Amino acid sequence: MKPVVLGAAGFLGLNLVDALLDEGLEPRCGRRKRTNVLALRQRKVPMVHTELDEPATLEAAFAHADVVFHLAGHYPRLSLEPEVARQTGLRQLEAVLDAAAKAGVRRLVYVSSTATVAPAPGGGPSTEAHVFEDAPRFGTYHGLKWHMEARALREDRLEVLVACPSACLGPWDLRVGTSALLVATARGLDVPHPDGVVSWVDARDVALGLVRLAQHPSPARRVILSAGSTRLQHLLEQLAQRYDVAPPSAPLADAEALAFCDAEERRAAKEGGRPALARELADLIIHGVPLDAALARRTLGLSFRSLSTTLDAFDDWARRVRILPSSPRQENRA
């Protein structure tokens, strides 16, 4: 396999690069001109300049590649402009697909989201068969991811496979994206939040799943990658115990949580910085459904790590890079 990874400098990207290197494969790593590549430099992997809005850079990057991993799908910083987000996401995805088709790429593994997984009738766990018929209208992120995944699956010039990972946790979340609530809880911050079903997965298992998907002789077109599901409030209580901090406050009602997120987004748009609770996170929690990842277990041979194993790995890494302070109590506990 001659792989190219778009989004290699990001959280999932770095874990995927590690998984490919473990398989003896050397990926060409797409990187934007301005991004943090310290972790990629440490891995001594070849890097190539790619900008999703500059098709020529994509065509050059894909030359001689047979597999492209697309982990750089548009993720708007804020949810205030759904139409702009949709147009940007689709334009950039189109550029990636065009460049891959022109370069003769055999297979493209597109990383989507469990935001595209619809509830199962009857309330049981959702599988790959459960897809929203139309774009969900309750949030910019959900709508964007639905449109992008639908476009990816319509591609007929090359084989496109879609992976839907749930909330990824683990090492190398340098921007503290998915781990934001985890880090806030570990630091004893009580972030206002709604309640609902949340699903998690270790980023290293997702990376391995992506590699196996790329190598599979007859893969499924859409695969859910998820280790487990629980109520957020229960998870936060478990985390509070783990980090020896006060338990979380009671959850907000859905409407109250969304109003809080929207106010925070408007503040962040005006003043910069990040919202205390991202709108897409609230939407994912409120509309979250339990997930069944049996297909990934069966066809990709994955056995997902437990939450405690994932959190241990995250803690070790986060303390090394000072995202979490070292804690004598934690060290005693270990």
CB of 38 to another protein, least distance (A): 5
> Is 70 strand, coil or helix?
strand
Task: Say how far apart CA 286 and CA 276 lie, in whole Å.
Answer: 17
Number of H helices, E strands in the chain: 13, 10
Q: Which residue, 50 or 114, is less far from another protein as judged by CB?
A: 50
Closest to another protein by CB, 104 or 273:
273
Q: Does 174 bind another protein (CB under 8 A)?
A: yes
Question: Residue 37 interacts with another protein (CB under 8 A)?
Answer: yes
Using CB under 8 A as the binding rule, the residues of this chain from 234 to 273 that contact another protein are: 272-273
Pair of tokens at residue 137: 């209208």
Contact flags string 270-289 toward another protein, x per CB under 8 A: --xx----------------
Helix (H) or strand (E) holding 111: strand 107-111
Q: Does 326 bind another protein (CB under 8 A)?
A: no
Interface segment toward another protein; rule CB under 8 A; list 127-135, 251-259, 297-305, 319-327? 319-327
Contacts of 288 (CB under 8 A, 6+ apart): 196, 197, 198, 199, 229, 232
Q: Shortest Cβ distance from residue 42 to another protein (Å)? A: 5
Q: Which of 22, 35, 308, 333 binds another protein (CB under 8 A)?
A: 35
Instruction: Please report whether residue 42 would count as binding another protein according to CB under 8 A.
Output: yes
By CB under 8 A, name the one of 24, 322, 332, 334 that touches another protein: 322
Q: Which two tokens stand for residue 246?
A: 């006060």
Distance CA 228, CA 290 (A): 8
Q: CA 252 to CA 192: how far, in whole Å?
A: 7
Contact region with another protein (CB under 8 A), list: 170-178, 208-216, 254-262, 300-308: 170-178
Q: How many CB atoms lie within 10 A of CB 256?
A: 12
Strand partners, 285: none
Residues that bind another protein (CB under 8 A): 34-39, 41-42, 174-176, 272-273, 320-322
